[in-house]
Each structure stands twice: as C-alpha cells, then as structure tokens.
Amino acid sequence: MKENKSRREFISQSGKMVTACALFGATGSVAYAAETAKNTCETGKTMNITAKHYYLDNVLLEAGFNVDGDVATSTRTELKTLEIQDGKIVALRDNKSHADSALPHYDAGGKLMLPAMRDMHIHLDKTFYGGPWRSLNRPAGTTIQDMIRLEQKLLPELQPYTQERAEKLIDLIQSKGSTIARSHCNIEPTSGLKNLENLQAVLARRKPGFDCEIVAFPQHGLLLSKCEPLMREAMQAGAHYVGGLDPTNVDGAMEKSLDTMFQIALDYDKGVDIHLHETSPAGVAAVNYMVETVEKTPALKGKLTISHGFALATLNEQQVDALATRMAAQQITVASTVPIGTLHMPLKQLRDKGVFVMTGTDSVIDHWSPYGLGDMLEKANLYAQLYIRPNEQTLSRALGIATGNVLPLNDKGERVWPKAQDAASFVLVDASCSAEAVARISPRTATFHNGNLVWGTVS
C-alpha cells in the first residue's frame, strides 16, 4: 500500500511523472510498483529540452578497464560534462565546466551514458500493443499458410489503429533506449500500400527523435500472393529494403522467389532483408543460394540481411565456420531476436567469424507472438546468458548486439565512444558500467536522439 500511495502522490504532480519513473526504476525493489511505474513511463510526458546548444553535466562515462592479466576485473568511470550542439556531441569537458555561462545546462544525475540502442527487426505496422490485451491461439501444427489466411481477416481490423499503435510502439522502444530501428511493413494484396503510407506518416512525425528504415515485407509470399508489382510500387514510394519470405515453404520455388527479390533490389538500388524461418534442408539451400548470388553480384555486396536464419542452427560447427567466412566476406548481416527455444543459433560463432549480427524485437504483442518487450538491453542480457562465460569484459562486449557494435570501450579498454562530433544519440542508465547494465538489464532514465531528449528526464 505504501507503494500505491507513493505512486498516487507522484502522479498527482503530473509534471514530475517521469521523475517518478526514474525513481521507481532506480529502486527496483518492489516489483508491482516498478511495473506500474513503467507503464506510466511509457505513456507519460517527457521533459522538453528546446535548446540546440547546451551542457549536460554529471554524465558517467566509462574510462577504462582495471585488469588482472588479460582480463578486465572492473570498469573505471568518470563524471564529465558533455557539450551538445545541433544534434552532436561537440566536446567532452571536465564535469560542470561551462565555458559559455550563457548556455543552459542540465544534470544527468550521475547516470551511465551508453550508445543509443538499435531495434533492427520490428513490425511497427501490426501490433496489438497500445490496444486491449489480446493473445491468439496458435495450436501446434498451425502453418504459415494458416497465418496468412488469418492475416487476410485480421489486417483490415487492425488498419484503423495502425498509426496510433505504431506511435505507442515507438514510445515503448524509446523508453528502453532505442532511437534507431528497422521496421518491416506488410506489402501484400490485403493491405496494398496502406500500411506503408501509415508508417511513413508516423515516421515523418517522429523524425526528430527516431530514425527508422522500412523493409517492404511480402508477408503473404512474394510469388504466392503475386505482389511483385506492389513491391515495386513500395520501392518507388520510398521503402528502403526489399523484403522476402521463406522461398520454399511459402512460395514453393526457392530460386525464382529469391531471384525476383534480388532483381527488385537491383532495379531500385536497395538492400534486401529476408525473413527466413525455414530449417534444413530448404533453409540451408536458401542461405547457400543467397550467399552464392551475392558472391556473383558485386552490387549486392553489403546489402543483404538474413532475418532469423534458423537454418544456421541446423549446421555443425565446421559448416557454420565455412558459411560464416563467406558471409563475412560479402558483408552479409544476420538479424536475430536471440531465440531461446530448441533452436540454438550460432550467433557467437557468426560474430567471431566477422559476420555483423544485430538484434531486434520482432513481435510486440501481436498475432504471431504475445511476447516482446521492445528492450534491446534485454536482448544483450539474453545473448550474454546464452553465449558467453560472464566476466566484466565479456559482459561489456555483449552490449554490442544492442548498439550496432558501438561500445564505450574497445577490447583494450580505451574509450572509443563518445567522441567529439558523434551524434548526440544515447541513453542514460542507472548502472555503474556496461557490464552491470547487461547483467542487470538496468533501468533507463532518459533517451536522447541527435541532441533531443525523446524520453525520460534530466534535471
């Protein structure tokens, strides 16, 4: 009851609502209160910083590792003042030193600054999030064809809410520190280009606080739903990537489906990001075919992302090594939600071989999955639990999966971020260092994008 009373008191001072969130998050001692406060945070007002040139004091930055032999045993930090101007960090200064006393200054309260997080696989255009709770029954044996039939009925029901819910999802992921994202967007005969138009309208409104690429996603099969002309219209309308989907299980013609996908990308000079859920042997064949296609087509080098790629979990260590070497040479990216089921993706092996692995939310409460917290730090924590022997060094490195491999310290413990002229896109976290943030999924208190405070508060 004490917590409830406290919460009411906080809420009664609506201007301080977000401070309450930070405080509850920071104490984290009462699950109910923290959960309630979190929900308030996600919908609560964020403090406004209108200045384009200002100081941010009391920012905790990582400064180096303390080591025992080769292994970091703890992380050194220091409090600094950042000078932020026109969306960039223009200088790191001694704490509370204000060369120009006329500029406004804010106080980060000693919170740890980490690079902005990146949710690189999300579906902002279809979710139940932001509406009433809903979970769908998908009994064992439900096929992707069943799901396509379900979508044909469900999508028109969701469409009136697309913009409102996309905005709420963006609020959610910003509250977790993500300001950079890649969203898949349904392109199929049921939705036409409506989801794309709705998503583009939302992203235009949110541009100052959120950068998001769009993948035109032929969810009902590129060939099966005969949506190549729609996909080409989506490219002309400004989608950034050509999507794809299980070329054997859905389209029933692996080579033709993949060739069509790549041809659209080449014609419009776009990248490709394909949903590949298929497992052995069709999935392995598809991965091989795509790697071969990129090897033969220099214009596709660095332009292919394989999302999920569950087939990689069916290969043995030598096969993964061989394929990963070729993928790294072609700068092929893997986007993974870090699945925790029976499939154990070789994510560490891929990264060790130089494949860029990024993570994302995928579903946040939708008809595919009732889960999804929109939290990339949670993904880094999952990655750490599944793939590393935890110590200060390895935990701090695991953060990279959440941040596009931007890390405050390099492997030797030298500060490589932030540097002058870096974008002022970062998250303030109630933690003493990256390793703790990953291990504890520490509460976030404020999120900045290009110098704009987009969620939370500083004082």
Closer to Zn ion at the Cβ: 119 or 362?
362
Interface with Zn ion: number of residues (CB under 5 A)? 1
Taking the complex as a whole, the smallest distance from the CB of residue 215 to Zn ion amounts, in Å, to 9
Taking the complex as a whole, the smallest distance from the CB of residue 180 to Zn ion amounts, in Å, to 17
- Taking CB positions, which residue lies at the least distance from Zn ion? 362
According to DSSP, the β-strands at 105-107 and 88-94 are unpaired
CA distance 369 to 363: 6
CA distance 256 to 83: 53
Closer to Zn ion at the Cβ: 245 or 401?
245
Taking the complex as a whole, the smallest distance from the CB of residue 136 to Zn ion amounts, in Å, to 16
- Give which of 120, 152, 47 is closest to 306, Cα–Cα: 120
Closer to Zn ion at the Cβ: 362 or 392?
362
Taking the complex as a whole, the smallest distance from the CB of residue 452 to Zn ion amounts, in Å, to 28
Taking the complex as a whole, the smallest distance from the CB of residue 268 to Zn ion amounts, in Å, to 21
Look up residue 5 and give its amino acid: K
According to DSSP, the β-strands at 71-85 and 88-94 are antiparallel
Taking the complex as a whole, the smallest distance from the CB of residue 275 to Zn ion amounts, in Å, to 5
Taking the complex as a whole, the smallest distance from the CB of residue 337 to Zn ion amounts, in Å, to 8
Closer to Zn ion at the Cβ: 219 or 445?
219
Alpha-carbon Rg for the chain in angstroms: 22
SS3 314: helix
- Give which of 353, 288, 352 is closest to 314, Cα–Cα: 288
- Give which of 381, 361, 363, 301 is closest to 333, Cα–Cα: 301
Question: Can you tell me which residue has the tokens 């504890």?
Answer: 440
Between the alpha carbon of residue 278 and those of residues 121, 321, 348, 417, the distances in Å are 18, 20, 21, 38
Task: Report residue 107 as tokens.
Answer: 């106080």
CA distance 142 to 345: 23
CA distance 252 to 223: 8
Taking the complex as a whole, the smallest distance from the CB of residue 219 to Zn ion amounts, in Å, to 9
CA distance 331 to 308: 17
SS3 344: coil
**CB atoms inside a 10 Å sphere around CB 44:** 21
Size of the chain, expressed as the number of residues it contains:
459
CA distance 144 to 250: 7
Closer to Zn ion at the Cβ: 366 or 378?
366
Asked if residue 156 has a cis previous peptide bond (ω within 30° of 0), the answer is no
Closer to Zn ion at the Cβ: 361 or 457?
361
Residues 222-241 that bind Zn ion (CB under 5 A): none
Closer to Zn ion at the Cβ: 77 or 219?
219
392 binds Zn ion (CB under 5 A): no
Beta bridge partners of 181: 119, 212
Taking the complex as a whole, the smallest distance from the CB of residue 406 to Zn ion amounts, in Å, to 24
Taking the complex as a whole, the smallest distance from the CB of residue 347 to Zn ion amounts, in Å, to 17
Binding mask 343-362 for Zn ion (x = CB under 5 A): -------------------x
Taking the complex as a whole, the smallest distance from the CB of residue 362 to Zn ion amounts, in Å, to 5
Closer to Zn ion at the Cβ: 362 or 378?
362
Taking the complex as a whole, the smallest distance from the CB of residue 184 to Zn ion amounts, in Å, to 5
CA distance 316 to 346: 9
Distance of CA 75 to the CA centre of its chain: 26
Residues 361-390 that bind Zn ion (CB under 5 A): 362
**CB atoms inside a 10 Å sphere around CB 10:** 19
Closer to Zn ion at the Cβ: 151 or 362?
362
Closer to Zn ion at the Cβ: 35 or 146?
146
Task: Report residue 438 as tokens.
Answer: 């990953």
Residue pair 249/148 in contact (Cβ under 8 Å)? The answer is no
Residues 297-316 that bind Zn ion (CB under 5 A): none
Task: Report residue 264 as tokens.
Answer: 């659209």
- Give which of 118, 72, 66 is closest to 405, Cα–Cα: 118
**Residues that bind Zn ion in the complex, under the rule CB under 5 A:** 362
